[in-house]
Structure 1
Amino acid sequence: METKQYIESGILELYVYGLLSEAENLEVAEMAKKNPAINDEIIAIEKAIVALSSSFSPFHSVANYEKIKAKLELKHADVIELQPSRNWSQYMGWAAAIILLLGIGYQYNQLDQTSNQVATTTLEKVKLEKDLNALQLKNKANETSLAVVRDSKNTVVALGGQAAAPESFAKVYWNKETKVVYVDAAGLPEPPKGMVYQVWALKLNPLTPTSIGLLEKFDVNNQKMFAVNNAEEAEAFGITLEPAGGSITPTMEQLYTLGKV
């Protein structure tokens, strides 16, 4: 085999890393003694490993590195003959281990970065989906409110503030054909904790109140447009403030708004 082919075969790298058998080590050592080009190539490979090892200080102390480097450089300062030795093979094994550790560390770092990117992308996707759902719900609420206000079949009943809350106001949209009732409670203050607004359909003579629903989840209803139960008959509508869960009869001292049909 020609010298160039022998060098390019990769056997010299395996020799330097200490990965050949004893017989193969002897063969390469013999070739190096006879052929200066092969010997020079072995020395070049070892020097490259020494230079590469300079970047691995996190894994070895400076003292250990300098010892290894000094021994490798001293070994080839003026020596032509190469003889495999147990200590030299051990050093090469360390160099191979360093390269392996570097590869593992690089792969771990890449995996960690990829995992972080996947986690970040997942969180962003969840947030986008949440924002999209919120926007869709808001748009749906807007469309419902707009449809209620625009429905010409709805009777609009204005409810004015009463003694319990003079500045309060509300509107009732009542479709006398379908009996469906919507309440626009934008003019009501947020109810205290443990309290809820209750809507009443009233017959005035004699005064007969019928509960048609509660304005629950008041704080999260941005439109403040509430669908309540149907009202079969009504001459007026009123809204009172009641304990959570509602009351059987209205608390007149807490009558916030009232309006005749």
Structure 2
Amino acid sequence: MDIDKYIASGILELYVAGALSEKENLEISTYAKEYPEINNEIIAIEAAILKLSGKASTMSPLPFQSIKNKIDLSSESKVIPINKNSTRWAQYLGWAASILLAIGLFWIYNQNQKLKSELEIVEQQSILLEEQIAASKASMEKTKTLLTTIRDKDISVVDLGGQAVSPESYAKVYWNKENQKVFIDAQGLPEPPDGFVYQVWSLKLSPLTPTSMGLLEDFSTDENKIFALNNPNDSEAFGITLEPAGGSESPNLEQLYTLGAVSAS
């Protein structure tokens, strides 16, 4: 092994700075135990960095006039001899400065990545907030429409009571015959089982003739449990049954949850 070439490669400076992989660190640690020259070089590099750090913390800039006074412009040029130790010291200082710069750049990079992550989180929160605001506006519009409907002087309110399959269930129908709209307040119905859906029926009583008005879709996710349906029928009663997902052509009367007759006007 060419120890001088290995020392001159700069890998020992990176080892001291902690910039190598675990495998490389283990390899250099083994060489340091085997070759005293490598171990001494590591000690010297560590001492140089500590000395550089100490000087950097206590060093103050010299006044310009002080520097000027130390320079004799009229004196003859002198050649300053360069010995091996001063060259080695300059090399240490160069490597130390490079290592400190690399550490500084690495810290800046990490801070930049952290800032990017924080900005992404803020952006995601902003998008979520916008969605919540939009959903809130839609809910407010739905509430306004409902209030307008139930306050209309021509509105018919039909109470639907619980039936044998679910005596505790109840619902309410707000029917505007003029615009053929119905709002179903289904707050009193239990959550439908998986694979099933509530279906609303307009009924003629003599003879009993059911006509589907539609399904109470997304029942579980609708917080208000208010559903708008069209009703062009001349209804005499309304009923709500539990049907398989997708609805049925005719009601399953064994799963009739609520029923109510339209009062004569």
Same fold (TM over 0.5): yes
TM range (shorter): 0.5 to 0.7
Aligned residue for 2:193? Answer: 192
> 1:62-95: CA deviations, max 9, x gaps?
72434537999xxxxxxxx943354344223213
Q: Using the TM superposition, name which of 125-134 and 247-256 deviates more.
A: 125-134
Aligned residue for 1:221? Answer: 222
Q: TM-score, normalised by structure 1?
A: 0.67
Contact 2:171–2:258 (CA under 8 A) maintained in structure 1: yes
> 1:220-257: CA deviations, max 9, x gaps?
11111111232321111111111111111111111111
Contact 1:201–1:231 (CA under 8 A) maintained in structure 2: no
1:231 paired to 2:229? no
Give, in angstroms, the shift of residue 184 of structure 1.
1.1
In the alignment, residue 201 of structure 2 is paired with which amino acid?
W
Counterpart CA distance in 2 for 1:65 and 1:147 is 83
Aligned residue for 1:68? Answer: 48
Counterpart CA distance in 2 for 1:115 and 1:148 is 49
1:203 paired to 2:204? yes
Counterpart CA distance in 2 for 1:69 and 1:189 is 74
CA RMSD of aligned residues (A): 3.0
Q: Which runs of 5+ in 2 are unaligned?
A: 1-15, 21-40, 53-78
Counterpart CA distance in 1 for 2:230 and 2:131 is 30
Aligned residue for 1:52? Answer: none
Paired positions, count: 200
User: Structure 1 stretches (4+) deviating beyond 3 angstroms?
Assistant: 56-62, 64-72
In the alignment, residue 173 of structure 2 is paired with which amino acid?
V
Alignment of 1:113-128 (within 5 A): 113-128=114-129
Contact 1:181–1:231 (CA under 8 A) maintained in structure 2: no
> 1:27-75: CA deviations, max 9, x gaps?
xxxxxxxxxxxxxxxxxxxxxxxxxxxxx96569972434537999xxx
Counterpart CA distance in 2 for 1:71 and 1:209 is 95
Aligned residue for 1:100? Answer: 101
Counterpart CA distance in 2 for 1:69 and 1:244 is 75
Aligned residue for 1:170? Answer: 171
Aligned residue for 2:132? Answer: 131
In the alignment, residue 119 of structure 1 is paired with which amino acid?
E
Give, in angstroms, the shift of residue 143 of structure 1.
2.1
Change (3 A) 1:84 1:143: farther
Change (3 A) 1:106 1:153: same
Contact 2:205–2:236 (CA under 8 A) maintained in structure 1: yes
> 1:8-40: CA deviations, max 9, x gaps?
xxxxxxxxxxxxxxxxxxxxxxxxxxxxxxxxx
Change (3 A) 1:191 1:59: closer
Contact 1:163–1:256 (CA under 8 A) maintained in structure 2: yes
Counterpart CA distance in 2 for 1:117 and 1:226 is 40
Alignment of 1:54-65 (within 5 A): 58=18, 63-65=43-45
> Share of identical aligned residues, percent?
49
Aligned residue for 2:252? Answer: 251
In the alignment, residue 115 of structure 1 is paired with which amino acid?
K
